[in-house]
């Protein structure tokens, strides 16, 4: 597979208003091939979101990228000169699905207005109908109801809202999507639906790679073909998912994996008894006494 991403020697530092310097990402390099889902794992504060924001070109003060290069499809940009990176790269080459995106959507905007805003930010001349047609086509392609466009955010379930914001953030067919904790606030079936949709989007070449930021290792096992583990601003180990899970080398990766809660064997076998299937034939309505 051709190389999709080559990020080299990224260092990002937060310069806080109180004069502190907090190193968020310390000389990190990562590579991805086309079609990869790279899981970025690590405990809270290890630098996952910072790295995600730098690679997706959404880093803002107080975060300053001191050095680093980002190459997509072999075209390199100097990350320490954000202003020098062509505007078209944001959204169309790399796109960000920020943490908690579904809750930061304005409650008074319909999904259709959000679609138009996002598309207009990229192409000031785009007509509303054109933007909505693109979103409608995308919803149809991914088997989601087009009426979602007419909804206000609160009218959508959490899972549907997250799938819709994912679709909106990829309307420009970015080469790479950075998704920050996209499944954290979802129940298990909505997590599965989102993961299936992301994989379908890759298959349909809506984008060509995903960086999936999460501290949820079981989720990464199902979605990522490669995992990079961060610790204190550095990538301490990376490799194919099965190798990382079955045979981790770095003590921190081992510690992270062993911190995943797995039920004791005797509890793992216990199944919760669900409601029995309703048998229409043998069902007798209770007598109503007058």
Ligand X SMILES: Nc1ncnc2c1ncn2[C@@H]1O[C@H](COP(=O)(O)OP(=O)(O)OP(=O)(O)O)[C@@H](O)[C@H]1O
Instruction: Point out which residues bind ligand X (CB under 6 A).
Output: 14, 16, 22, 24, 42, 44-50, 62, 215
Q: Which is nearer to ligand X, 77 or 214 (CB)?
A: 214
Q: Least separation, in Å, of the C-beta of 276 and ligand X?
A: 42
Closest by CA to 79, choosing from 140, 131, 21, 27, is 27
Spatial separation of the C-alpha atoms in residues 33 and 286, rounded to whole Å: 63
Q: Least separation, in Å, of the C-beta of 255 and ligand X?
A: 15
Closest by CA to 235, choosing from 15, 70, 8, is 8
Q: Least separation, in Å, of the C-beta of 241 and ligand X?
A: 19
Closest by CA to 31, choosing from 57, 3, 51, is 3
Q: Which is nearer to ligand X, 57 or 139 (CB)?
A: 57
Q: Which is nearer to ligand X, 178 or 202 (CB)?
A: 178
Q: Which is nearer to ligand X, 16 or 242 (CB)?
A: 16
- Secondary structure letter of residue 209 according to DSSP: E
**Residue 233, both tokens:** 């601003």
Spatial separation of the C-alpha atoms in residues 171 and 119, rounded to whole Å: 8
Q: Least separation, in Å, of the C-beta of 17 and ligand X?
A: 9
Query: CB atoms < 10 A from the CB of 32, how many?
Result: 24
* CB-neighbour burial class of residue 196 (10 A; exposed 0-12, middle 13-18, buried 19+): middle
Q: Which is nearer to ligand X, 12 or 159 (CB)?
A: 12
**Helix or strand or coil: residue 123?**
coil
- Which helix or strand (DSSP H or E) is residue 22 part of? strand 21-33
Q: Least separation, in Å, of the C-beta of 13 and ligand X?
A: 9
Q: Which is nearer to ligand X, 50 or 166 (CB)?
A: 50
Q: Least separation, in Å, of the C-beta of 232 and ligand X?
A: 8
């Amino acid at each position: 597979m051709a190389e999709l991403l080559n990020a080299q020697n990224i260092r990002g530092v937060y310069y806080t208003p109180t004069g502190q310097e907090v190193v968020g990402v310390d000389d990190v390099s990562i590579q991805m091939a086309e079609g990869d889902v790279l899981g970025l794992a690590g405990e809270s504060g290890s630098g996952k979101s910072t790295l995600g924001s730098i690679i997706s070109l959404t880093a803002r003060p107080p975060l300053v990228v001191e050095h680093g290069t980002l190459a997509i499809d072999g075209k390199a940009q100097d990350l320490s000169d954000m202003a020098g990176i062509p505007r078209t790269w944001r959204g169309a080459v790399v796109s960000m699905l920020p943490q908690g995106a579904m809750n930061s959507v304005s409650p008074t905007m319909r999904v259709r207005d959000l679609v138009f805003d996002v598309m207009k930010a990229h192409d000031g001349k785009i007509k509303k109908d054109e933007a909505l047609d693109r979103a409608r086509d995308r919803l149809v392609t991914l088997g989601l109801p087009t009426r979602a466009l007419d909804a206000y955010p609160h009218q959508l379930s959490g899972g549907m809202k997250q799938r819709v914001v994912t679709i909106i953030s990829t309307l420009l067919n970015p080469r790479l999507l950075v998704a920050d904790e996209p499944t954290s606030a979802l129940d298990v079936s909505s997590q599965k639906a989102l993961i299936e949709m992301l994989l379908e989007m890759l298959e349909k070449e809506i984008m060509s790679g995903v960086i999936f930021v999460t501290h949820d290792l079981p989720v990464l096992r199902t979605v990522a073909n490669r995992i990079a583990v961060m610790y204190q601003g550095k990538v301490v180990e990376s490799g194919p998912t099965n190798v990382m899970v079955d045979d981790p080398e770095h003590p921190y990766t081992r510690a992270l994996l062993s911190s995943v809660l797995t039920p004791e064997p005797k509890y793992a076998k216990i199944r919760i008894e669900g409601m029995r299937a309703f048998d229409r034939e043998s069902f007798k309505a209770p007598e109503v006494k007058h």
